[in-house]
Structure 1
Amino acid sequence: MSKIIIGIGLLFIAALVVTIAGCSKTTTVLLDNSPAITETVQFSKTIVPILTKSCATSGCHSGSVAPNLTETNAYNSLVSGHYLNLSDPPSSEVYLWLTGKKGAAMPLGSANNPSNINALILAWIKQGAKNN
């Protein structure tokens, strides 16, 4: 009888260790505390410079990793790659990646993606994600 109790106790401890080991932080979700953007966000003047500086860098989204966010390819890559959801902008792939809700917050290796970038991207998508 004591062997059964010891066995059950060991199983319980093993399950507890596995459970605790499985509890770890894997992603950081960035909160957007910036005020809503109400002015028109232009893709060419606002979004492209952000993508060029922060995303379309060597080894990242400059053609080697999808989507290709270089100046000449960014719009078509985002649209044809289904990274935008115009009916529910906060669930757009590009926004989920930027905010860390779908893996590590982008851009990788940056201290933190300033929330104003996320707000600008979200506002642009909410405004219809026009190629303007």
Structure 2
Amino acid sequence: MYKINIGTVLLLVVGLMVWLFGCGSAIKELGLVFDNPAAAGRPSPSFSADIAPILTSQCAIAECHVVDGPHDIDLRTYDTLMKGGDDGAIVIVGDARESEIVEEIAEGKMPPEGPSLDAAQIQLIIDWINEGAKNN
């Protein structure tokens, strides 16, 4: 019969709690908000004017998120961004909290080398997604 080690269970529970509570800490530290940008008085971001320049300068660079890049995520165009990668969509239209791209950049996981995106850039991406991730 299989015995459950209480120490292992406790370690797993504590580890899970640290992971769950730690995920939101970067968002809080950066002062990111997930409200309606228009209601908060922030301008509506445009994909071509605001989002594409961030992605092409920070993410879609040599050997990163271009054709045949990591996880088959190509961030060079609106269509390839919205396609997602090997694991599916990275942008959940209207829901930045559930969008993998926000998690990756807010927690500083991406880009893995060089400077992380700043809070203003991340907020633009959050606002753009929450407003429908339009190709404008």
Whole-angstrom CA distance in 1 between matches of 2:94 and 2:56: 26
1:109 aligns with 2:113: yes
- Give the structure 2 partner of residue 89 of structure 1: 96
- Evaluate the alpha carbon distance shift between residue 77 and residue 116 of structure 1 in structure 2; reply closer, same or farther with a 3 A threshold: same
1:80 paired residue among 75, 80, 83: 83
2:26 paired residue among 15, 30, 34: 30
Structure of greater relative contact order (alpha carbons < 8 Å, 6+ residues apart) = 1
Is 2:66–2:75's contact at 8 Å kept on the other side of the alignment? yes
Is 2:95–2:129's contact at 8 Å kept on the other side of the alignment? no
- 1:87 deviates by 4.5
- Give the structure 1 partner of residue 48 of structure 2: 44
- Evaluate the alpha carbon distance shift between residue 30 and residue 87 of structure 1 in structure 2; reply closer, same or farther with a 3 A threshold: same
- Evaluate the alpha carbon distance shift between residue 125 and residue 117 of structure 1 in structure 2; reply closer, same or farther with a 3 A threshold: same
Task: Give the TM-score taking structure 1 as reference length.
Answer: 0.66
- 1:123 deviates by 0.3
Larger Rg: 1
- Could you say what the CA RMSD is over the residues aligned between the two structures, in angstroms? 3.0
Per-residue CA deviations over 1:14-62 (Å, capped at 9, x if unaligned) read x79xx7xxx8xx9986333157752110000110110111001111012
- Give the structure 2 partner of residue 98 of structure 1: 105
- Give the structure 2 partner of residue 12 of structure 1: none
Amino acid in structure 2 at the alignment position of 1:30? A
Q: Structure 2: any 5+ residue segments left out of the alignment?
A: 1-6
2:130 paired residue among 121, 126, 129: 126
1:67 aligns with 2:65: no
Task: Give the TM-score taking structure 2 as reference length.
Answer: 0.64
Per-residue CA deviations over 1:91-131 (Å, capped at 9, x if unaligned) read 1011111112xxx5211113432111110100000110000
